[in-house]
Amino acid sequence: MEDLTPQTMIAVFEEMFGAVLFWAMVAAAVIITLAYIYVLIRDKRVGMRKFLIAQLFMPVGAVAAVWFVMVMTDSALRDIGGPVDVIVLLGIAALGAVGIAILVYTVEALAFGRTTEDQRDGAKSGNGLGQPAE
């Protein structure tokens, strides 16, 4: 593994997680990302109440991501060998936290739509973007 190319990384991840699970995770990430973009375009703003609830789930996502990688790689926290391992685990935790926040926000927005409070806040600002209506 002399070159760090996308093909090399895909091969490594397929080896770690198995091809089916890896591509299922990629497909899920793409679908959730597209749904999140759809919600942002549809609502024309970020609902602060939904955003707060999504943020409350971030620690759960961080812990779940680290746990998932530990299970899939058959390792434990005692196997951390140095600063690079800690940086990688912190990166995994950060990505898990952001991922679960996006997932929770998207599911909440799709399941419940715009709440009365979101609509009222949008009416106050005129066009939902915090700018007066023209």
pLDDT digits (tens), the chain, 134 positions:
578 899 999 998 999 888 999 999 999 999 999 999 999 999 998 889 999 999 999 999 999 999 999 998 888 888 888 899 899 999 999 999 999 999 999 999 999 877 655 555 555 555 555 555 54
pTM over 0.75: yes
Residue ranges per structural domain of the chain: 6-117
Inter-residue contact 124 to 56 (CB < 8 Å): no
Residue 114 DSSP label: S
Integer CA distances (angstroms), 69 to 8, 73, 93, 125, 129, in order = 19, 6, 10, 44, 39
Which is nearest to 58 in space by CA: 99, 107, 90, 28? 99
